[in-house]
Amino acid sequence: MDSAAVKLLVDEWLSFDTDPETRTEIQKLWDAGDVNELQKILGHRIAFGTAGLRGPMRAGYACMNNLIVKQTSQGICAYILKVFPDVKEKGVVIGFDARYHSHTFARIAASVFIHKKIPVYLFPSICATPHVPFTVRKQDACAGIMVTASHNPKQDNGYKVYWRNSAQIIPPIDANIHESILQNLKPWECQENDVDSSPLIIDAGKICWDDYREKIVAVLSKKRRFGTSIPPFPIVYTAMHGVGYRFVKEAFSAFGLSDLIPVEEQVEPDPEFPTAPFPNPEEKGTLNLAMKKADKIGIPIIAATDPDSDRFTFAEYNKEKKQWRQFTGDEIGTIFAYRQLTDWKEEHPGGDVSKIAIVNSAVSSQFINVMGAAEGFQTAQTLTGFKWIGNKMLDYEASGVQAVMGYEEAIGYCLGSGIIVDKDGISAASVLGELAAILYSQNKTLEKYLNDIYARYGTTVSNNSYLYCYSPPTITKIFDRIRASGKGKDGGQPDTYIRFFTNTATGEKWEVKHVRDLHTGYDSSTSDKRALLPSSSSSEMLTYYFTNGAVLTIRTSGTEPKVKYYSELTGKDGAECRRELQALVKAVVEECLQPEINGLKPPLG
């Protein structure tokens, strides 16, 4: 792009943008002659997809800023007016987290909708992400918008969209919205401060917060449903500098649980994330302050939600080993699944278990399928992301099957039916707190609870991690090589995917039974070689199924610069399964990803 073309983009930006801060940023870059940087931030548009928007906060079409939020809201507003004739009666819901600019972005979005005479249920202060889909469902609103970048670093922000069914949007809605945005780029005649005096602004907090809390108690509390006695049992909790403390504390009180013991350094919302530069509870070291607090006062359980409180994790102290164990996303999913199953059986003595279902993603554990086969409940696995899980749960509801749980291994859990069909860290924390209180009153631990489940159905071990890759061309090169890596090897397999992996250190060799590639839509296990799950050429997701029963998936992240891998193996001897799976993962990562050659970086910590 030459200087003249960049100048046209600069002039267009300055004609659209009314924010002095971002106007000045663009003007200074032009005055300095920094054409390359201007091309970088103006030369392409931040992509709108099923995850909405997410990116760094700065000037330019490629970033998150006031103009992008306004243009995006205009596109969504225009599309909603087209597909929902009753939107001026039903309205939309808008919430925001505690990140920099989140409140402003939410107000700008609201100003766009009221400009078109659409009522807006606007939260008056920071809320948790689950509150938005709950309010959409409760009010039968036409859409919901949550301004959040979830657990991304502090420089990022995002814009997540829920549809009228209260689930995150899926194709082709995302593509239709994208086209509508491009058709509505010129800013409409509305301002952020229009929301201050408009009668179309409705306080979403008054509608949501009390009813949400009552709903999760009614659906999930053992004390409410069965009269179960819940003994005192304090838990240390960290909000990761996010919005969670108020809402998790109120939920614990409603469940009749002991007061939370907060990690003071992380309990208040802080967009700087001073003690957690990567505020994802999955990241190594993020729970260290909570563990330190719990050690000091002798508390064996710590719980955490991510900054927008839709994800949840916990750790437990093992007295014998004198160490903390942070449970994996799949282990927590297994605990919740068994709890949901047994609660349903208690509530429906002699009931038809085939009338309930549990949904998880294709990169989550297959153990749910093992449980389902043994107990008779239905299971389904979807593409990665809660947009697919939530919509599948709604499909079950429509068919008369109660979806009692959905989950993904990335510590996202939806417990109970009729609340929301999205991740909810608040309800997950409450259910875990209640379960821990009951177990410890019986001199049991959560680790014992999990091991009892494995003893009942079989032991499943997983080995999941990721590598950072900041170069999209490198990712393309990696996966192109993977698809061609079997060509000329192992008898010249016609599909060109490698059929054997060898661990160079141990000499062990594993045979691939079949392979599924959701980038190309190929599946070697089907008669027509077409994958049963939807495929997408815009993302990478490849799964190897091995003859020893192991399953390993490699995929790219839709929101972070990561190549992720997920693996699991089921067997009678847990220790041997862990050893073999670790050796297998090492072989596949070295052969497929070639971290040193491709400059891939391991997780921090």
Q: Would you please indicate which residues are annotated as catalytic (active-site) residues?
A: 150
Q: DSSP letter for 409, please.
A: T
Q: Identify whether the C-beta of residue 498 lies closer than 8 Å to the C-beta of residue 485.
A: yes
Separation in Å, CA 477 to CA 137, 483, 501, 597, 598: 43, 10, 20, 12, 9
3-state secondary structure string across 284-298 = CCCCHHHHHHHHHHC
How is 215-228 classified by DSSP, letter by letter? HHHHHH-HHHHH--
Cα 356 to its chain centre, rounded Å, is 24
By the 10 Å C-beta count (0-12 exposed, 13-18 middle, 19+ buried), 172 is classed as exposed
> How do 261-262 and 236-238 pair as beta strands?
parallel
Query: What value does the CA radius of gyration of the chain take, rounded to a whole number of Å?
Result: 25
Cα–Cα distance, 336 to 365 (Å, whole number): 13
3-state secondary structure string across 16-55 = HCCCHHHHHHHHHHHHCCCHHHHHHHHCCCCCCECCEEEE
Phi, psi of 158 (to 5 degrees): -155, 180
How is 492-556 classified by DSSP, letter by letter? T-TT----EEE-TTT--EEEEEEEEETTTTEETTSTTSB-SS---TTS-EEEEEETTS-EEEEEE
By the 10 Å C-beta count (0-12 exposed, 13-18 middle, 19+ buried), 121 is classed as buried
Cis bond upstream, residue 172 (ω within 30): yes
| Best CA proximity match to 300, nearest among 413, 448, 415, 407 | 448
| Best CA proximity match to 341, nearest among 328, 323, 353 | 353
If you count them, how many residues does the chain have? 605
Q: Identify whether the C-beta of residue 466 lies closer than 8 Å to the C-beta of residue 479.
A: no
Angle value at C-alpha 209, between 208 and 215, nearest 5 degrees: 85
By the 10 Å C-beta count (0-12 exposed, 13-18 middle, 19+ buried), 26 is classed as buried
Host H or E run for residue 403: strand 402-408
Cα–Cα distance, 445 to 454 (Å, whole number): 14
Cα–Cα distance, 145 to 168 (Å, whole number): 10
Cα–Cα distance, 63 to 44 (Å, whole number): 10
User: What residue type is 258 in one-letter code?
Assistant: S
Q: DSSP letter for 64, please.
A: B
